[in-house]
Structure 1
Amino acid sequence: MRHYEIVFMVHPDQSEQVPGMIERYTASVKEAGGQVHRLEDWGRKQLAYPINKLHKAHYVLMNVEAPQSVIDELETNFRYNDAVLRNLIVHTKSAVTEASPMVKAKESKAVEAVADVTEEAGE
Protein backbone atom coordinates (compact mmCIF):
# COMPACT_ATOMS: atom_id res chain seq x y z
CA MET A 1 0.00 0.00 0.00
CA ARG A 2 1.11 3.53 -0.74
CA HIS A 3 1.02 6.67 1.35
CA TYR A 4 -1.07 9.64 0.23
CA GLU A 5 -1.73 13.18 1.39
CA ILE A 6 -5.28 14.31 0.67
CA VAL A 7 -6.58 17.87 0.99
CA PHE A 8 -10.13 18.78 0.09
CA MET A 9 -12.09 22.01 0.32
CA VAL A 10 -15.78 22.00 1.19
CA HIS A 11 -18.38 24.68 0.41
CA PRO A 12 -18.65 26.95 3.48
CA ASP A 13 -22.44 26.48 3.70
CA GLN A 14 -21.86 22.72 4.03
CA SER A 15 -19.42 22.94 6.98
CA GLU A 16 -21.79 21.03 9.26
CA GLN A 17 -21.50 18.04 6.89
CA VAL A 18 -17.70 17.87 7.17
CA PRO A 19 -17.56 15.47 10.18
CA GLY A 20 -19.83 13.03 8.33
CA MET A 21 -17.72 13.30 5.20
CA ILE A 22 -14.53 12.67 7.18
CA GLU A 23 -16.14 9.66 8.86
CA ARG A 24 -17.26 8.25 5.51
CA TYR A 25 -13.85 8.73 3.86
CA THR A 26 -11.85 7.31 6.79
CA ALA A 27 -14.22 4.33 6.99
CA SER A 28 -13.64 3.50 3.32
CA VAL A 29 -9.85 3.62 3.89
CA LYS A 30 -10.04 1.38 6.96
CA GLU A 31 -12.43 -1.11 5.31
CA ALA A 32 -9.83 -1.72 2.60
CA GLY A 33 -7.17 -2.45 5.22
CA GLY A 34 -5.60 1.01 5.10
CA GLN A 35 -4.66 3.41 7.87
CA VAL A 36 -5.26 7.08 8.55
CA HIS A 37 -1.97 8.48 9.88
CA ARG A 38 -3.01 12.12 10.25
CA LEU A 39 -6.36 13.89 10.12
CA GLU A 40 -6.67 17.65 10.52
CA ASP A 41 -9.76 19.80 10.17
CA TRP A 42 -8.40 23.27 9.41
CA GLY A 43 -11.83 24.89 9.42
CA ARG A 44 -12.92 27.82 7.27
CA LYS A 45 -10.14 29.71 5.54
CA GLN A 46 -9.98 32.60 3.12
CA LEU A 47 -9.35 31.50 -0.48
CA ALA A 48 -6.52 33.05 -2.49
CA TYR A 49 -8.97 33.67 -5.32
CA PRO A 50 -12.75 33.20 -5.67
CA ILE A 51 -14.00 29.75 -6.65
CA ASN A 52 -17.60 29.67 -7.90
CA LYS A 53 -18.05 33.19 -6.46
CA LEU A 54 -17.01 31.95 -2.99
CA HIS A 55 -14.29 33.59 -0.93
CA LYS A 56 -14.02 31.03 1.88
CA ALA A 57 -13.93 27.25 2.12
CA HIS A 58 -13.66 24.57 4.81
CA TYR A 59 -10.32 22.71 4.55
CA VAL A 60 -9.55 19.12 5.60
CA LEU A 61 -6.17 17.34 5.47
CA MET A 62 -5.73 13.55 5.62
CA ASN A 63 -2.58 11.43 5.43
CA VAL A 64 -3.50 7.85 4.63
CA GLU A 65 -1.93 4.54 3.69
CA ALA A 66 -4.30 2.81 1.30
CA PRO A 67 -4.52 0.72 -1.87
CA GLN A 68 -5.03 2.45 -5.22
CA SER A 69 -8.64 1.22 -5.42
CA VAL A 70 -9.58 3.29 -2.36
CA ILE A 71 -7.89 6.39 -3.79
CA ASP A 72 -9.83 5.93 -7.03
CA GLU A 73 -13.04 5.64 -5.00
CA LEU A 74 -12.22 8.82 -3.05
CA GLU A 75 -11.50 10.72 -6.28
CA THR A 76 -14.88 9.62 -7.63
CA ASN A 77 -16.62 10.67 -4.41
CA PHE A 78 -14.92 14.08 -4.53
CA ARG A 79 -15.83 14.56 -8.18
CA TYR A 80 -19.54 13.80 -7.72
CA ASN A 81 -20.00 15.54 -4.36
CA ASP A 82 -21.15 19.09 -5.11
CA ALA A 83 -20.06 20.26 -1.65
CA VAL A 84 -16.38 19.52 -2.44
CA LEU A 85 -15.01 22.54 -4.30
CA ARG A 86 -11.46 21.28 -4.90
CA ASN A 87 -9.31 18.32 -3.90
CA LEU A 88 -5.69 17.30 -4.18
CA ILE A 89 -4.32 13.78 -3.71
CA VAL A 90 -0.53 13.46 -3.65
CA HIS A 91 1.59 10.31 -3.31
CA THR A 92 4.14 10.60 -0.47
CA LYS A 93 7.22 8.48 0.23
CA SER A 94 6.34 7.66 3.83
CA ALA A 95 3.68 8.16 6.46
CA VAL A 96 3.43 11.73 7.75
CA THR A 97 2.21 11.88 11.34
CA GLU A 98 3.58 15.18 12.63
CA ALA A 99 1.38 18.25 12.81
CA SER A 100 1.16 20.35 9.66
CA PRO A 101 2.49 23.93 9.50
CA MET A 102 -1.13 25.17 9.52
CA VAL A 103 -1.81 23.50 12.88
CA LYS A 104 1.57 24.52 14.32
CA ALA A 105 0.89 28.16 13.43
CA LYS A 106 -2.58 27.98 14.99
CA GLU A 107 -1.16 26.45 18.19
CA SER A 108 1.61 29.05 18.46
CA LYS A 109 -0.95 31.86 18.07
CA ALA A 110 -3.06 30.28 20.82
CA VAL A 111 -0.03 30.03 23.13
CA GLU A 112 0.88 33.67 22.44
CA ALA A 113 -2.69 34.77 23.15
CA VAL A 114 -2.68 32.92 26.49
CA ALA A 115 0.67 34.49 27.37
CA ASP A 116 -0.68 37.96 26.56
CA VAL A 117 -3.76 37.39 28.71
CA THR A 118 -1.69 36.17 31.67
CA GLU A 119 0.65 39.18 31.31
CA GLU A 120 -2.29 41.58 31.33
CA ALA A 121 -3.83 39.82 34.32
CA GLY A 122 -0.52 40.04 36.20
CA GLU A 123 -0.17 43.80 35.71
Structure 2
Amino acid sequence: MNKYETLFIQNPSLDEEATKANIEKFKGIIENGGGTVENVDVWGRRKLAYEIAKVNEGHYTLINFSSDAQLPKELDRVFRITDGIIRHIIVNLEK
Protein backbone atom coordinates (compact mmCIF):
# COMPACT_ATOMS: atom_id res chain seq x y z
CA MET A 1 0.00 0.00 0.00
CA ASN A 2 1.36 3.39 -1.06
CA LYS A 3 0.39 6.73 0.46
CA TYR A 4 -1.14 9.31 -1.87
CA GLU A 5 -2.78 12.68 -1.68
CA THR A 6 -5.14 14.23 -4.18
CA LEU A 7 -6.15 17.84 -4.46
CA PHE A 8 -9.07 18.77 -6.68
CA ILE A 9 -10.81 22.03 -7.48
CA GLN A 10 -14.53 22.10 -8.16
CA ASN A 11 -16.39 24.77 -10.10
CA PRO A 12 -17.87 27.37 -7.71
CA SER A 13 -21.15 27.36 -9.66
CA LEU A 14 -21.96 23.97 -8.09
CA ASP A 15 -24.24 24.24 -5.09
CA GLU A 16 -23.13 23.00 -1.67
CA GLU A 17 -25.04 19.75 -2.03
CA ALA A 18 -23.37 18.87 -5.35
CA THR A 19 -19.95 19.77 -3.94
CA LYS A 20 -20.42 17.42 -0.98
CA ALA A 21 -21.79 14.71 -3.28
CA ASN A 22 -18.62 14.86 -5.41
CA ILE A 23 -16.42 14.59 -2.32
CA GLU A 24 -18.36 11.53 -1.16
CA LYS A 25 -18.17 10.08 -4.67
CA PHE A 26 -14.36 10.26 -4.69
CA LYS A 27 -14.11 8.89 -1.16
CA GLY A 28 -16.31 5.99 -2.26
CA ILE A 29 -14.12 5.26 -5.28
CA ILE A 30 -11.06 5.08 -3.03
CA GLU A 31 -12.76 2.85 -0.44
CA ASN A 32 -14.42 0.56 -3.01
CA GLY A 33 -11.11 0.22 -4.86
CA GLY A 34 -9.43 -1.32 -1.83
CA GLY A 35 -7.90 1.88 -0.47
CA THR A 36 -8.36 3.62 2.84
CA VAL A 37 -9.15 7.31 3.24
CA GLU A 38 -6.95 8.75 5.98
CA ASN A 39 -7.98 12.40 5.93
CA VAL A 40 -10.37 14.71 4.06
CA ASP A 41 -9.54 18.39 4.33
CA VAL A 42 -12.09 20.74 2.76
CA TRP A 43 -10.39 24.09 2.17
CA GLY A 44 -13.53 25.74 0.85
CA ARG A 45 -13.84 28.44 -1.79
CA ARG A 46 -10.60 30.19 -2.71
CA LYS A 47 -9.35 32.45 -5.47
CA LEU A 48 -7.43 30.68 -8.23
CA ALA A 49 -3.89 31.78 -9.05
CA TYR A 50 -4.98 32.26 -12.65
CA GLU A 51 -8.23 32.10 -14.58
CA ILE A 52 -9.26 28.65 -15.83
CA ALA A 53 -12.12 28.43 -18.35
CA LYS A 54 -13.28 31.96 -17.38
CA VAL A 55 -13.50 30.98 -13.68
CA ASN A 56 -11.58 32.89 -10.99
CA GLU A 57 -12.57 30.87 -7.90
CA GLY A 58 -12.88 27.23 -6.98
CA HIS A 59 -13.84 24.91 -4.14
CA TYR A 60 -10.66 23.11 -2.97
CA THR A 61 -10.56 19.65 -1.34
CA LEU A 62 -7.53 17.61 -0.23
CA ILE A 63 -7.81 13.85 0.39
CA ASN A 64 -4.99 11.72 1.86
CA PHE A 65 -5.33 7.99 1.22
CA SER A 66 -3.48 4.67 1.00
CA SER A 67 -3.96 2.23 -1.85
CA ASP A 68 -2.25 0.00 -4.38
CA ALA A 69 -0.69 1.47 -7.52
CA GLN A 70 -3.75 0.87 -9.76
CA LEU A 71 -6.28 2.96 -7.83
CA PRO A 72 -4.80 6.42 -8.68
CA LYS A 73 -5.16 5.61 -12.38
CA GLU A 74 -8.86 4.88 -11.93
CA LEU A 75 -9.31 7.96 -9.73
CA ASP A 76 -7.63 10.11 -12.39
CA ARG A 77 -9.98 8.72 -15.04
CA VAL A 78 -13.03 9.56 -12.92
CA PHE A 79 -11.73 13.09 -12.20
CA ARG A 80 -11.40 13.69 -15.94
CA ILE A 81 -14.98 12.68 -16.77
CA THR A 82 -16.70 14.31 -13.78
CA ASP A 83 -18.50 17.55 -14.57
CA GLY A 84 -17.58 20.42 -12.30
CA ILE A 85 -13.95 19.42 -11.69
CA ILE A 86 -11.70 22.26 -12.89
CA ARG A 87 -8.30 20.78 -11.97
CA HIS A 88 -6.95 17.79 -10.04
CA ILE A 89 -3.63 16.26 -9.07
CA ILE A 90 -2.68 12.96 -7.45
CA VAL A 91 0.73 12.74 -5.75
CA ASN A 92 2.56 9.67 -4.43
CA LEU A 93 3.92 10.75 -1.04
CA GLU A 94 6.49 7.96 -0.76
CA LYS A 95 8.70 9.00 -3.66
TM normalised by structure 2 equals 0.90
Measure, in 2, the Cα distance between the counterparts of 1:34 and 1:20. 19
Which position in structure 2 is the counterpart of 1:2?
A: 2
Q: Secondary structure at the match of 2:51?
A: strand
Q: CA deviation at 1:34?
A: 1.3
Identical positions, percent = 33
> How many pairs does the alignment contain?
94
Measure, in 1, the Cα distance between the counterparts of 2:6 and 2:82. 16
CA-atom RMSD, angstroms?
Answer: 1.5
Q: CA deviation at 1:69?
A: 2.4
Superposed, which structure 2 residues align to 1:82-121 within 5 Å? 82-93=83-94
Measure, in 2, the Cα distance between the counterparts of 1:8 and 1:15. 16
Q: CA deviation at 1:30?
A: 1.3
Which position in structure 2 is the counterpart of 1:11?
A: 11
Measure, in 2, the Cα distance between the counterparts of 1:50 and 1:32. 33
Tell me: higher relative CO, structure 1 or 2? Use CA pairs within 8 A at least 6 residues apart.
Answer: 2
> Which is strand-richer, 1 or 2?
2
> Which is helix-richer, 1 or 2?
1
Measure, in 2, the Cα distance between the counterparts of 1:27 and 1:47. 27
Q: What 5-or-longer segments of structure 1 have no aligned partner?
A: 95-123
TM normalised by structure 1 equals 0.71
Measure, in 2, the Cα distance between the counterparts of 1:4 and 1:91. 4
Please give the per-residue CA displacement for 1:57-97, whole angstroms capped at 9, x wherever unaligned: 00000000012222111101111123100001100029xxx
Q: CA deviation at 1:32?
A: 2.5
Structure 1 residue runs of 4 or more that deviate by more than 2 Å after TM superposition: none
Measure, in 1, the Cα distance between the counterparts of 2:68 and 2:42. 23
Q: What 5-or-longer segments of structure 2 have no aligned partner?
A: none
